[in-house]
Amino acid sequence: MIIIKIQDYSEMSRKAAQIIAAQVKAKPDSVLGLATGSTPVGTYQELIRYYEEDGLSFHKVTTVNLDEYYGLAPSHEQSYHRFMQETLFDHIDILPENTNIPDGLASDPYSYGKEYDKLIVSLGGIDLQLLGIGSNGHIAFNEPGRFFSAQTRLVDLNQHTIEDNARFFGSKDEVPHQAITMGMKSILGAKRILILASGAGKAKAVKDMVEGQIAPMVPASILQLHSDVTLIADQPALSLLS
Ligand code: PGA
């Protein structure tokens, strides 16, 4: 794992966007794996700047998102569909038909998850996967547990995640308890992985991911098995590394 230490959230966002922009310049029809949450917002703002000021085009890019709350319609204020539209897609020249986000209303999530993984394979796999890390060590909504799960599937969110994400909702009670998440096989199948971490709240998860045992109680630790992972993190997030 390559670790790039940066000063703060702004520098993390600029660096991450630089790497993603270079990927798109080198391969205009890249398949980008995208993430939601607070972490990538600044990166998306920087990518919009590349589009507006530097002529970077996403016209041929395809995107595949990591997850969606189960039970939320795409139009719901807190859905990740809405997040991606408002935070990135509405501001660049990506074609709507080339964006893919798990369907939070899928009536048969098991079959749906299989189809989502097949779609990723049919696209030739993900060229560059952007990830955040949960303060409990999750990646996408692969929560700590007894197993690593390969497939895209319906999962129960753990209490920690519900509490972390309550800040986006009116209250904790409004946070959905389930989500459809990309599984480890599609994530690890990405050719390159870029993971971002900012702030002391991520320090324990980052330490366990980088230096801990590869164990399903720390889902991000499985990234140790991937040959091309870059972590961009600030000092508070790196503060527990030995
Ligand atoms: P955050 O979430 O970016 O909102 O901190 C990260 C994650 O849960 O993966």
Residue 85, classified by CB atoms within 10 Å of its CB into exposed (0-12), middle (13-18) or buried (19+), is middle
Q: How far is the CA of 165 from the centre of ligand 1 (A)?
A: 8
The per-residue pLDDT for range 113-123, each reduced to its tens digit, is: 999 999 999 99
For residue 136, indicate whether it is catalytic. Answer: yes
Task: List, in sequence order, every residue forming a beta bridge with 178; answer none if it has no partner.
Answer: 156
Q: How far is the CA of 141 from the centre of ligand 1 (A)?
A: 10
Binding pocket residue ranges, ligand 1, CB within 6 Å: 37-39, 132-134
**For position 195, what pLDDT does the model report?**
99
- Name which of 228, 239, 167 is nearest 203 in CA terms: 239
The per-residue pLDDT for range 128-153, each reduced to its tens digit, is: 999 999 999 999 999 999 999 999 99
192 sits in the region (left: phi over 0; alpha: psi -120 to 50; else beta) called: beta
Grade residue 79 by pLDDT with cuts at 50, 70 and 90.
very high
Mean pLDDT (the chain) is: 98
115: tokens are: 């189809």
**For position 113, what pLDDT does the model report?**
98
Task: List, in sequence order, every residue forming a beta bridge with 205; answer none if it has no partner.
Answer: none
Grade residue 84 by pLDDT with cuts at 50, 70 and 90.
very high
pTM, entire model: 0.98
45: tokens are: 């703002």
Determine which one of 46, 68, 127, 143 is catalytic: 143
Determine which one of 117, 138, 164, 165 is catalytic: 138
For residue 67, indicate whether it is catalytic. Answer: yes
Phi, then psi, of 6 in degrees rounded to 5:
-125, 170
The per-residue pLDDT for range 147-179, each reduced to its tens digit, is: 999 999 999 999 999 999 999 998 999 999 999
Ligand 1 probe mutation, 34, 36, 38, 39, most atoms within 8 A of CB: 39
Instruction: Domain ranges for the chain, please list them.
Output: 2-238
Q: How far is the CA of 91 from the centre of ligand 1 (A)?
A: 22
Q: How far is the CA of 58 from the centre of ligand 1 (A)?
A: 24
Determine which one of 46, 81, 127, 136 is catalytic: 136
The per-residue pLDDT for range 192-212, each reduced to its tens digit, is: 999 999 999 999 999 999 999
Task: List, in sequence order, every residue forming a beta bridge with 155; answer none if it has no partner.
Answer: 179
- Domain boundaries 2-238, corresponding CATH code: 3.40.50.1360
